[in-house]
Amino acid sequence: MDLLSFARGPALKVAITIFCLGAAWRVVAFALLRIRRDLNKPRASVFKYMTGGLVAVASRSWPHREFIGRTGAGEALGYSYHIGLFALVLLFAPHIAFLGSLVGVTWPGLPSSLITIISVVTLTLFLAVLFRRVTNRVMRMLSNFDDYFSWFITMLVIVTGLAATAHFGAPYQTLLGIHILSFDVLLVWFPFGKLMHAFYIFPSRAINGALLARKGATS
């Protein structure tokens, strides 16, 4: 069995198994977390604090007016590379074929040359994100192995993907094998690291917003 067959065969199966198991474990454990009972009288109706949760999801996805000068650049960077990742993962024809083979549905993609440009831009943004994390003292102190490894493995998938497209340094099938293998590693790491924010980000904002709305605060 060559590297490519291994990466998209047995390794992918193991990775998907660990990903599904780990993600379901953490999501269910999170959902069943005990929230301390608030004995105070609610200051808003049930409807209001439920909608407060939804409002929080929207309002906290945008920089607060008061802090836009301090956080705007960071948020713009974050949004940019997330949009880049979205395009790379979901709009590149070989990726659509890959995902289609897993889920049974395909959709239109973007031209490969445009995807190459997006890859390079996203790669640059990723380096900028790392630079910001390393040079900003507060962020550096807040960062741990999880942050750096999550950055590294995501970056690795993009770099190996670009190398495979450009046939850089090795035959295409070897590079494609390495690319898919790096994606397998990402899948394995996903549920156990900060990449899991993809599952948590909106529910946690909604819960926080709802709890605050119950106390009469606006998000």
Partner 1 sequence: MSPNNRELTVGEMLRNAGVSRRGFIKYCTAMASVMALPPWMGAAMAEQLRNAPRPSVIYLSFQECTGCFESLTRSFAPTIESLIFNVISLDYDDTLMAAAGDAAQTALTTAMKDNAGKYVLVIDGSVPTGAGGAYCTAGGRSAVDTLRDAAKGAAAIVCVGTCSAFGGIPFADPNPTEAWPVTAIVGDKPIINVSGCPPIPEAITGTLLQFVTTGKVPDLDEHRRPKVFFGNTIHDRCYRRPFYDEGKFAKSFDDEGARNGWCLYELGCKGPTTYNACATLKWNGGTSFPIESGHGCIGCAEPGFWDKGSFYAAQSSAEWGKAGDSSPRKVLELGGASAAVGAALGAVSAGVGRLRQHRSEHSAVDAERKGA
Can residue 176 be called a binding residue for partner 1 (CB under 8 A)?
yes
Q: Contact between 203 and partner 1 (CB under 8 A)?
A: no
DSSP assigned state of 105: -
Of 12 and 206, nearer to partner 1 (C-beta) is: 12
Q: How far is CA 80 from the centre of its chain?
A: 13
Integer angstrom CA distances of residue 81 from 16, 40, 67, 109, 188: 24, 42, 21, 18, 22
Per CB under 8 A, the list member of 68, 76, 97, 198 interacting with partner 1 is 97
Q: Does 102 bind partner 1 (CB under 8 A)?
A: yes
CB of 166 to partner 1, least distance (A): 11
In the beta sheet, which residues pair with residue 92?
110
Single-letter amino acid code for the residue at 207: I
Cβ nearer to partner 1, comparing 20 with 142: 20
Smallest distance from the beta carbon of 201 to partner 1, in angstroms?
Answer: 18
Question: Taking a C-beta distance cutoff of 8 angstroms, is the pair 199, 23 a contact?
Answer: yes
Tallying the residues shown for the chain, one arrives at 219
Footprint of partner 1 on this chain (CB under 8 A)?
2, 4-5, 8-9, 12-13, 16-34, 93-95, 97-98, 100-104, 106, 109-115, 167, 171-173, 176, 180
